[in-house]
Chains A and B, each alone.
Chain A
Amino acid sequence: MSLPGPFAVGAYARKLQEEMRKRARVQLIGEVTGVGRSKVQAYFELRDGDGAVPCAIWLNDLEKAGLTDGALRDGAEVVIAGGPDYYPGGGQASPSFCFRATEVRLAGEGDLIARLEALRKQLRSEGLFELQKQLRRPRLPKTIGVVTAETGAARRDLLAGLERRGWAGNLIWAFAPVQDRRAAPAIAMAIQDLAARPEVEAIVVTRGGGSLADLWAFCDETLCRTVAMLRVPVVSAVGHERDSTLIDDVAAVACSTPTHAAEAAVPLDCLAARESLERCSLALRRAGEGAIGTRSRHLGALARGPARALQRERGKLNQKIREIRAASERGVAERAASQRRIGTVVLERARRRAAGADLEKRREALRQATVTLRAHEPERTLERGYALVEGEAGEPVTSAVAAAAAPGVKLRFADGRVQARTEGDVERET
């Protein structure tokens, strides 16, 4: 062993105490746990999520601090001032280390806010605020887990909010202390147990308002890290609107009241949704019936179309027929009249033509007849020296017998007649 010594342990212990007391005096902030008292001093642990220090304060210093009775209790957030100390013990007494506090006060808003901001900065830098917000939140969860105090207004307000939504599904209550040092671990465990149940679709964590110290459990780093890593969306409603706890930052949704938390856990207004569904149902029915009705009317119209078109065409056709008939009758009459006129003209022409030729012939014939007649006129014969025998009455006497029998005859010459008488018998020509 090349180290210095060996030294007497008692001397070393006093030297250690001396060294400890040289350390800088500082202030510490944390939660008080394990408070106990002896005749001369009070002792407790001061801790937070990362560690703890055993502390002690002389009772006279504690009295000077002016704390009310019981203020130094488990779960209280306090600020202490002092420095490390070492009690070397003695022949019988055990040695011990402690932070010797000479002053103590309850942590104020400012102290807590400073701690909260440091934690907030840390968790944000790790991206823990975003994880829950990326989770899908069902609009209509059927089972909701709720972490809250068994007694208190938060529970009642939450139920009222759910009723206002028209939601009446399954609620699983996970009751936990919501204020003191036991609260944060109990809440974290309740949340994890709820999330482990497959039917739980959303978790609400809620409690009523209070000071930041009262709500401090909801700023617990371990609790907030648990919430951030959860796969079930968490809706937080801790304290009132002005209160901002760390769990609000890591939760999927942060609400100001339990009533709002109920509405965030069930985004769907079930009453309005039922009405909307009725409207959808009606719209679908109308669309279906309308589509068929409109089309059947259209089809009906189309079906009647050809008949109407046929009727229309038939009407046109009949009209045409009537027009044609009328025109035809008119045309026939006109043609008949025209033909009659033409016929008349033709006939007339023909007649005239025919008449013209006949006349000529007749004239010729007449001329011939006249010539012939003239040739046969007795006057012509008489002119050539012949005489015509006529009876008393002027009738021709054409035979010898008649002449012999006649009492008297006349002989007609070209220039006149003379009375004559026949004598003797008839002399026959041989």
Chain B
Amino acid sequence: MSERPESYEAAVERLEEIIDRLDSGQAGLRETLDLCKEGKELVNYCAAELDEVGEGLKELRLDDLAAKLEASPGVN
């Protein structure tokens, strides 16, 4: 897998497919190693996604964001 997954759910769905395939015991060595590699990348992707929503709640106010937007240069 060289492309970034479309979304977390797409990654998880693919990951489940991979695990099912591996569990079936029907994959050959090359396929198994390829699936493991792809699965590991998906796990890393998912872990990174989870980390993004696991490092502490950040609360913002829409009013503040709108004020910043208006104050920023180059914005009409």
A residues with CB within 8 A of B = 138-140, 142, 145, 159, 162, 166-175, 190, 193-194, 197, 266, 268, 270, 273-274, 277, 280-281, 283-285, 287-288, 291-292, 295
Contacts of B66 on A, CB cut-off 8 Å?
A: 193
Evaluate contact between A139 and B8: CB separation under 8 angstroms. Answer: yes
Query: Is B58 an interface position by the 8 A CB rule?
Result: yes
Residue of B nearest to A291 (CB): B32
Checking B19, B36, B47, B58 against A169 with a beta-carbon cut-off of 8 angstroms, the contacting residue is B58
* Residues in chain B near residue A138, CB distance under 8 A: 7-9
| Contact A288-B32, Cβ < 8 Å, known A167-B53, A283-B19 | yes
Cβ of B50 and Cβ of A273 under 8 Å apart? yes
Q: B55 CB to closest chain A CB, in angstroms?
A: 7
Indicate if the CB atoms of A169 and B43 lie closer than 8 Å.
no
Would you give 9 A-B contacts (Cβ < 8 Å), ordered by A?
A139-B7, A145-B62, A166-B54, A172-B62, A274-B47, A274-B50, A274-B54, A280-B43, A283-B23
Complex CA–CA separation, A174 to B64 (angstroms): 10
Question: Would A170 and B54 count as touching, CB distance under 8 A?
Answer: no
- Contact, CB under 8 Å: B22 / A281: no
7 closest pairs, A vs B, by CB?
A: A169-B53, A288-B36, A174-B62, A291-B32, A287-B22, A140-B8, A168-B57
Task: With A138-B7, A169-B57, A295-B29 as known contacts, state yes or no: A283 contacts B22, CB within 8 Å.
Answer: yes
A175 touches B56 (CB 8 A): no
Does any Cβ of A come within 8 Å of B33's Cβ?
yes
Bound: A283/B59 CA distance, A: 37
Q: Which residues of B contact A284 (CB under 8 A)?
A: 18-19, 22, 36, 39-40, 43
Please state if A140 and B56 are interface contacts (CB–CB under 8 Å): no
A270 contacts B50, C-beta separation under 8 Å: yes
Q: Which of B46, B55, B62 contacts A168 (CB 8 A)?
A: B55
* Cβ distance B60 to chain A, nearest Cβ, rounded Å: 5
**B49 CB to nearest chain A CB (Å):** 6
Chain A residues with Cβ under 8 A from B53's Cβ?
140, 142, 167-169, 266, 270
Q: Smallest distance from the beta carbon of A147 to chain B beta carbons, Å?
A: 9
Beta-carbon nearest neighbor of B9 in chain A: A139
Q: Which residues of B contact A283 (CB under 8 A)?
A: 19, 22-23
Check A162 against B57 for contact (C-beta < 8 Å).
yes
Bound complex: CA A283 to CA B20 (Å): 10
Q: A166-B54, A283-B22, A288-B33 are in contact. Are A173 and B9 (CB under 8 A)?
A: no
A204 to B9: give the CA distance in the assembly, Å.
Answer: 21
Nearest CB in chain B: distance from A148 CB, A: 12
Kindly report which residue of chain A lies nearest to residue B15, judged by CB atoms. A280
Which residue, of A171, A268, A291, has the highest number of chain B Cβ atoms within 10 A? Answer: A291
Q: Which of B32, B43, B60 contacts A281 (CB 8 A)?
A: B43
CB contact under 8 A between A173 and B40, given known A166-B54, A287-B22: no
- Give the chain B neighbours of A175 by CB distance below 8 A: 61-63
CB under 8 Å from chain A, chain B span 21-49: 22-23, 27, 29, 32-33, 35-36, 39-40, 43, 46-47, 49
Give Cα distance in the complex from A145 to B63, angstroms.
12
Q: How far is the CA of A168 from the CA of B9 in the complex (A)?
A: 18
A288 to B40, CA, bound (A): 10
A280 to B50, CA, bound (A): 14
Counting CB contacts under 8 A, is B67 at the interface?
Answer: no
Chain B residue, CB-CB nearest to A139: B9
Q: Does B52 contact A (CB under 8 A)?
A: yes
Whether B59 lies near A277 (C-beta < 8 A) is no
Residues on B with C-beta less than 8 A from A140 are 8-9, 49-50, 53
Residue of A140, A142, A268 ringed by the most chain B CB atoms within 10 A: A140
Q: Are B43's CB and A287's CB within 8 A?
A: no
Which residues of chain B have C-beta atoms less than 8 A from A287's C-beta?
19, 22-23, 32, 35-36
Query: Does any Cβ of A come within 8 Å of B71's Cβ?
Result: no
Measured CB to CB, the nearest residue on chain B to A137 is: B9
Instruction: Other than A284-B43, A288-B33, give 4 A-B pairs with Cβ distance below 8 A.
Output: A172-B60, A173-B62, A284-B36, A291-B29
Is the CB of B65 closer than 8 A to any CB of chain A? yes
Per the bound structure, the CA–CA distance linking A21 and B35 in Å amounts to: 84
Contacts A167-B53, A168-B54, A284-B39 known; A173 to B61 CB distance under 8 Å?
yes
Residue of A nearest to B36 (CB): A288
Q: List residues of chain B with CB within 8 A of the CB of A173.
A: 59-62
A172 to B63, CA, bound (A): 9
Contact between B8 and A171 (Cβ–Cβ < 8 Å)? no
